[in-house]
């Protein structure tokens, strides 16, 4: 039973629910795996083993009483260090927040626990969750378990690295500009950015978020199987009145014809050959599964959406963000803000109003695309996962990183759901495809994702590479 950490969440929950193994067995195996591999990758930066075991004992006791312990009964999961977990610091990768100890749980934590999950530990992110690379001055660097020379992604880099290395069966991440989808891509796992309003969010330990993050940042799952994403999404997305944006949308929408669009160069994206090949291969997998796949030359505006999203994210309150980054002294955060200043500052009331007006127009145009097609297949990034720290090498490298990430930055502006499906490797470097659908149609993303996954090999836990 020492290899329980290798199982999918679905498999493990079934074993625990039928008493073939205990939640304590699963927790002990998860902690042993964490201790064995985390020192090499620094994915989990805070955890209390005694709390993990105590929670697992409680799950076993509930099952012994004949109670339904939930769809994630006893499954060890990780959560990102930027959401409130009672008794832990909500650092968001910041020395400035080392003493911000949460007195209550965020809705995500509460919902995971209601579903029976055991919170294994808290995963790393870059300072302020700004970058597609994961390093900071409080917790240090997170390494990609597949190849330490490439980024584990960001900002949920610890989440991606943990689930890829078998530390937990599901990882929680957040996404305002690719922070779930890119770590999944870089670490060779799957990751789902839900629709805005699907998963409730609130951190009582921190000030209320500005409007940009309120209307574009979401929480969602990363996992090694698409089926586990489906279970995790259902668990995470239960009602919580603390989030005024939460929406009671059904998990499954009306049936749609299995018709997919495929775009290799959305809005002029400079897509490298290996990424094009991965997207095309995903399309062929869908066709073999009975989908009609039509290649389209372009999508509704994506580059403009990415520009406006960057303004909402970094321009709203830019001076306050820069002042905080200067106090923190994090080189990556400062590079992100200073490198984007000309694009996002000043962001006055007129510019803010214009951005929100365009948001309605662009969202409408994208929604109309999904009247014709159930899903869209397109790149996660214009490039394969970057060498670690590429954005800080020089000005040209910084611009290259941001240019390649347009597919990730743009989608949140419309509040759409998007799924990264890992499809294989190019040497030691993972590659995958992004599946996008209309609002609250995560079920269509997952349906297509399961067909793409079924024609390949689901990611298996890896031992960290040297």
SS3 category, 219: strand
Q: Which of 8, 10, 22, 80 is catalytic?
A: 80
**Which one, of 375, 427, 419, lies nearest residue 257 by Cα?**
375
Answer yes or no: are the C-beta atoms of 231 and 422 closer than 8 Å. no
178 and 408 Cβ atoms separated by less than 8 Å: yes
For residue 122, give the nearest of 109, 104, 113 by alpha carbon: 109
Residue 371 CB neighbour total at 10 angstroms: 9
Q: Which two tokens stand for residue 3?
A: 């290899």
Name the 3-class secondary structure at 152: coil
Query: Could you confirm whether 80 is annotated as catalytic?
Result: yes
Q: Which residues pair with 267 in a beta bridge?
A: none
Residues 64, 429: Cα–Cα separation, whole Å: 45
What are the φ and ψ backbone dihedral angles of 409, each rounded to 5 degrees?
Answer: -70, -40
Q: Catalytic: 179? A: yes
22, 129, 179, 422: which is the annotated catalytic residue?
179
Of 8, 22, 129, 155, which is the active-site residue? 155
Question: By three-state DSSP, how is residue 436 classified?
Answer: strand
Interaxial angle between packed helices 349-372 and 406-413, expressed in degrees from 0 to 180 and rounded to the nearest 10: 100
Which residues carry out catalysis? Answer: 80, 155, 179
């Amino acid at each position: 039973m020492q290899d329980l950490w290798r199982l999918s969440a679905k498999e493990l929950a079934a074993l625990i629910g039928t008493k073939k193994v205990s939640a304590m067995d699963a927790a002990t195996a998860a902690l042993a795996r964490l201790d064995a591999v985390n020192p090499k990758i620094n994915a989990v930066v805070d955890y209390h083993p005694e709390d993990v075991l105590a929670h697992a004992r409680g799950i076993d006791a509930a099952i012994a009483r004949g109670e339904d312990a939930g769809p994630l009964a006893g499954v060890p999961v990780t959560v990102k260090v930027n959401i409130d977990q009672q008794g832990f610091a909500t650092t968001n990768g910041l020395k400035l927040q080392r003493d911000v100890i949460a007195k209550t749980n965020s809705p995500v934590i509460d919902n995971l626990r209601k579903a029976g999950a055991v919170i294994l530990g808290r995963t790393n992110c870059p300072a302020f969750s700004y970058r597609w690379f994961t390093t900071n001055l409080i917790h240090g660097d997170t390494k990609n378990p597949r190849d330490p020379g490439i980024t584990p992604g960001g900002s949920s880099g610890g989440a991606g690295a943990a689930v890829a290395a078998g530390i937990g069966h599901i990882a929680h991440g957040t996404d305002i500009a690719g922070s779930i989808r890119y770590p999944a891509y870089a670490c060779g796992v799957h990751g789902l950015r839900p629709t805005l309003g699907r998963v409730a969010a609130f951190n009582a330990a921190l000030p209320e978020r500005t409007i940009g993050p309120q209307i574009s940042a979401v929480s969602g799952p990363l996992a090694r199987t698409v089926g586990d994403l489906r279970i995790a999404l259902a668990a995470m997305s239960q009602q919580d009145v603390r989030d005024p944006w939460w929406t009671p949308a059904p998990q499954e929408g009306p049936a749609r014809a299995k018709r997919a669009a495929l775009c290799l160069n959305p809005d002029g994206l400079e897509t490298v050959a290996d990424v094009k090949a991965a997207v095309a291969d995903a399309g062929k997998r869908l066709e073999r599964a009975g989908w009609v796949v039509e290649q389209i030359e372009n999508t509704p505006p994506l580059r403009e959406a990415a520009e406006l999203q960057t303004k909402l994210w970094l321009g709203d309150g830019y001076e306050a963000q820069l002042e905080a980054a200067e106090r923190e002294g994090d080189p990556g955060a400062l590079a992100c803000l200073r490198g984007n200043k000309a694009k996002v500052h000043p962001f006055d009331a007129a510019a803010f109003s214009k951005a929100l007006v365009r948001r309605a127009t662009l969202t409408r145009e994208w929604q109309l695309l999904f009247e014709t097609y159930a899903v869209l297949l397109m790149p996660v990034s214009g490039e394969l996962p970057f060498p670690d720290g590429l954005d800080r090498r020089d000005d040209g490298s910084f611009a290259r990183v941001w240019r390649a990430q347009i597919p990730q930055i743009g989608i949140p502006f419309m509040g759409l759901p998007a799924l990264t499906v890992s499809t294989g490797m190019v040497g030691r470097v993972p590659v995958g495809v992004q599946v996008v659908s209309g609002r609250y149609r995560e079920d269509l993303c997952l349906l297509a994702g399961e067909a793409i996954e079924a024609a390949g090999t689901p990611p298996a836990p890896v031992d960290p590479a040297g």
